[in-house]
Chains A and B, each alone.
Chain A
């Protein structure tokens, strides 16, 4: 086991930021910590890294208790902060070299690692640029390079794609998957469920500092009663149709508005055929019709009664 967190409690005055949080991370996993803003994701990471004091609980990394002076543990950890944490006065290459140099003393080895990190994040053409000359996306890539250049076994990514353009976001997510394939264990926090679904092998959902669900995305979706969602795009739907549709067996809810009819069904119920028959029977003209499986947002909604991005 790479990380073992037990019964972690962290308070900020009266606010309970971590509520008896327990979680494990296995070697080779990409663990996603998913939760809305303020759910305790960053606090959890900072406690695991021994940056923050906590009131109760324990953290073990690589089988040893984590502490600020646990240098033998720290040397194998990489962290990519939520905000860009580089020196404006140093160039791209110097920044990566500086942070890598805090882990790797051998100059030749470090030179090679820095070179690899620059290529890894695609900053070869910007090596001598100062951070202020870089775009937001390139800055994020530099931030990542500074965190991973020393080839750590365990890497924490704390919302690395906030305020990043789609192209850079894809680049970052692909990079994280590549690092995992090369052997790194990843802890990834985000409030973007699509990212978590895309790259994480296991997901822990946090709300108010507590774990409310833990499993693979399939396991999480299996935890809820909701099945498929059928959406019909049409301006020809009368209000009474929604009432009538609710009577179809297995339909949980029907919403009609803005030219869209959204029909949600129970788990393991396929109602597409019934909906199509209904539309044909009432001669409803429609543009598009599509079905979706439950998302992590549906999981969060059913477990907490609120949207993930509330």
Chain B
């Protein structure tokens, strides 16, 4: 009997193209759009060296210190400037033609000539200011203590940093991951439509099909459990396909704890199904459309609060109303993937998983008490 019901339910689920679209294709399409959007963002934020000029006159030639400093920031992979040494006239022409962002002139001070204000112009000015401050400081030190010249020259060569950057985990930081992890959370909850469908097909007061099924000599809960197994199979498979797509097509990192990522996805699938079944049973309307809207709407709200549309929302919630974060399954799923990616400890991950399992239990229990009814007041 299990096999008969299970296989037929699998057929029903897999052939429902509309729901397969919303539970598998839609998250994939959304992920592709995210990737495209973030690629532009990353490109826009990354630094590229920009063209500047320096007036190559006798003052410039005499100021060896400045010359070598300017050349050092105009060479190598991480250079700031694409430098042109030229006459003042040519530099002005290049500036007028917008071929350079500005030019430097060496005199008593280092003067910066620009036409517009902007990111590049600020960097150029900052470089000039920084050089002059350092040169001024060195001049003051040498005038008061001429014997310090050698040490001073050595210390200026060293680029000392007084703070040290350390990572919270073994994985490289990536600002965009949270968006994709919350998208997985959303996909898990969208799979709730399968749970909703199962409730509709087992509650005689919700569909004629269910009434017919209720008349068969099969225990209602046995039938429901079997059907939910079929739904879980499909939903979990969809989530795995989605994970594979994210990992291998969009190159989204999940860290090295693969089995725990799969376990999280399995628990997420169960939460989604249990939530969908709960909505199907608890929302008192005959309209499947309204129930689906409630399910998708609440999933979307959960995703928003988990940072799917605005990453900082997750942190705003955790700072100001952490209880909402704990009551939001999408946030718990997002955070679980995040923990697996960044952290080497498991305490936060374990708490998330316990809360998610509690949700499965809670939704499952409520649904059981609603659908265990075998006779109805009206059909």
Please give the residue numbers on chain A whose beta carbons come within 8 Å of chain B beta carbons, in ascending order.
12, 46, 49-53, 68-69, 71-72, 74-75, 77, 79, 81, 83-87, 89-90, 94, 97-99, 101-103, 105, 146-147
Contact = CB atoms under 8 A, between A and B. Distances in A.
Contacts of A98: 4, 8
A147 B216 CA distance: 10
A71 B12 contact: no
17 contacts: A51-B375, A52-B377, A53-B376, A68-B220, A71-B218, A74-B216, A79-B215, A84-B208, A87-B8, A89-B11, A89-B15, A90-B8, A99-B216, A101-B5, A102-B5, A102-B216, A102-B217
Contacts, number: 85
A84 B153 CA distance: 93
B1 interface: yes
A77 to B, nearest CB: 7
Interface of B: 1, 4-5, 8, 11-13, 15-16, 204, 207-209, 211-220, 374-379
Contacts of B213: 102
Contacts of A94: 8, 11
A101 B3 CA distance: 10
A68 B12 contact: no
Contact of B1 (A51, A79, A105): A105
B376 A51 contact: yes
B8 A46 contact: no
Contact of B215 (A74, A83, A89): A74
Contacts of A103: 216-217
Nearest to B207: A85
Given A68-B374, A85-B208, A51 B214 contact: yes
A81 B220 CA distance: 19
A53 B8 contact: no
B216 A90 contact: no
A189 to B, nearest CB: 15
Given A81-B208, A85-B208, A99-B216, A69 B374 contact: yes
A74 B218 CA distance: 9
Nearest to A82: B208
A272 B11 CA distance: 66
B179 to A, nearest CB: 34
A77 B212 CA distance: 11
Nearest to A47: B375
Contacts of A12: 377-378
Nearest to A99: B212
B377 A53 contact: yes
A74 B207 CA distance: 19
Nearest to A150: B216
B208 A83 contact: yes
B11 to A, nearest CB: 6
A90 B11 contact: yes
Contact of B209 (A68, A71, A85): A85
Contact of A81 (B11, B12, B211, B216): B211
B224 to A, nearest CB: 13
Contact of B12 (A50, A90, A99): A90
A52 B15 contact: no
Given A52-B379, A87-B12, A90-B12, A71 B217 contact: yes
A68 B208 contact: no
Contact of A51 (B11, B13, B215, B218): B215
Contact of A52 (B216, B218, B376): B376
Contacts of B12: 87, 89-90
Contacts of B214: 51, 68
A87 B375 contact: no
A79 B210 CA distance: 13
| A-B complex: 8 closest residue pairs judged by Cβ atoms | A68-B374, A85-B208, A102-B216, A71-B217, A89-B15, A74-B217, A75-B217, A89-B12
Nearest to B15: A89
A182 B103 CA distance: 104
Contact of A79 (B209, B212, B374): B212
Contacts of A86: 209
A51 B208 contact: no
A304 to B, nearest CB: 25
Given A68-B374, A81-B208, A83-B208, A49 B11 contact: no
Contacts of B376: 51-53
A51 B216 contact: no
A103 B208 CA distance: 18
Contacts of B15: 89-90
B375 A53 contact: yes
A51 B204 contact: yes
B379 to A, nearest CB: 6
A295 B36 CA distance: 75
Given A52-B378, A69-B374, A99-B216, 9 more contacts: A52-B376, A53-B375, A53-B376, A71-B217, A79-B212, A90-B8, A90-B11, A102-B218, A146-B212
B375 A101 contact: no
A23 B1 CA distance: 35
A84 B220 CA distance: 21
A213 to B, nearest CB: 27
A72 B218 CA distance: 10
A168 B217 CA distance: 30
A285 B230 CA distance: 75
